[in-house]
Amino acid sequence: MILWFALAASAATFIGGSFALRFRDQLHLILGFSAGAVAGVALFDLLPEAMRLGILYHTADIIAFFIALGFFGYLVLDRLILLHTHEDPSMELGAGDLAHTGGLPRAESRGAFGALTLSAHSFLDGVAIGVAFQASSAIGLVVTAAVLTHDFSDGINTVNLVLKNRGGWRQAFRWLLVDALAPLLGAASTLFFTLSEEYLGLVLAVFVGTFLYLSASDLIPESHHRHPRALTTLMTLFGAAVLYAVVHLV
C-alpha cells in the first residue's frame, strides 16, 4: 500500500513536469508561478514540519542554523563549485558562447544540480510517506495528501530549472523521470530502515534554506528577465497563494 501511494506521488511529479514541457513557450509565466510555489513549499510546508519535528529534540537556534546551512551551503555550491556567473542581460549568448567547466556548460551544470536537489527532496517525500505509515495508517494518509499537493509543483520546478539554464527538452525530460521515480524509491527504502524524527526535522530544515535560495536567487530573477514585471509578479504571488491554500486545506 505504501508503494501505491508513492507511485501516486511519482505520477503527480511527472504530470507537473509534462505541463511545463508542453507550455514552455510561456516559460516566464510558469517560472513566476514556480518561484512562488518553491518559496511556498519552503515557508508553508517544510518549515512548519521541520519546526514541529525538530523542536522536540533541538532548540530553535539549532533549527535556524540548519536552515542557514541549506541556504548558504547551496550558495557556496552555486557560486564556487559550479563557478556560476550571471551573464550580462544585454547580451544574447548562443550555445557555442557558453563557458565550459569540465566539458559541460556552466549553466547546464547549474540546472542539473538544481534538478538533482529537487529530486533529492522528492526522495525524502517518499521517505516521509513510508515513515508516516510506520507510525499509523491515519498519519500516513495525511502525509501522502500533503506530498501529492506539492509534488505537482516539484515536477514543474525540475523542468523549469533545466530549461532556464539552457538545457534542452530531452535533458529536462530525463531529469523529470528521475524526479518522478524518486518518491517511489524513497518509500521503498523505508521498508529496510526506520528514520528517526530527530534527524528528519534537521534534514527538512536544510531543504527549507535550499528552496528559499532557489526561489530568491534563481527563479524570481529569471521570471522577471525581459518580461512584464506586473504579470510575472502576480504569478509569483499566485504560486505562493496556491501552496498556502493547499497546505492548509490538507
Please report the pLDDT score of residue 66 as a whole number: 96
Domain assignment of residue 189, given as a range? 2-87+99-249
Cell numbers standing for residue 35: 518561484
Rg (CA), the chain: 18
Please report the pLDDT score of residue 67 as a whole number: 96
Task: With respect to residue 93, please indicate whether it lies within any of the assigned structural domains.
Answer: no
Task: With respect to residue 204, please indicate whether it lies within any of the assigned structural domains.
Answer: yes
Task: With respect to residue 205, please indicate whether it lies within any of the assigned structural domains.
Answer: yes
Please report the pLDDT score of residue 69 as a whole number: 95
The mean pLDDT values, 10 residues at a time, for the chain of 250 residues are: 75 73 70 82 85 90 95 82 43 40 56 78 81 72 67 74 75 85 88 79 86 81 70 88 80
Task: With respect to residue 92, please indicate whether it lies within any of the assigned structural domains.
Answer: no
Measure the CA–CA gap between 230 and 227, rounded to whole angstroms: 9
Please report the pLDDT score of residue 8 as a whole number: 77
Please report the pLDDT score of residue 85 as a whole number: 39
Task: With respect to residue 94, please indicate whether it lies within any of the assigned structural domains.
Answer: no
Please report the pLDDT score of residue 250 as a whole number: 61
- How many domains is the chain partitioned into structurally? 1
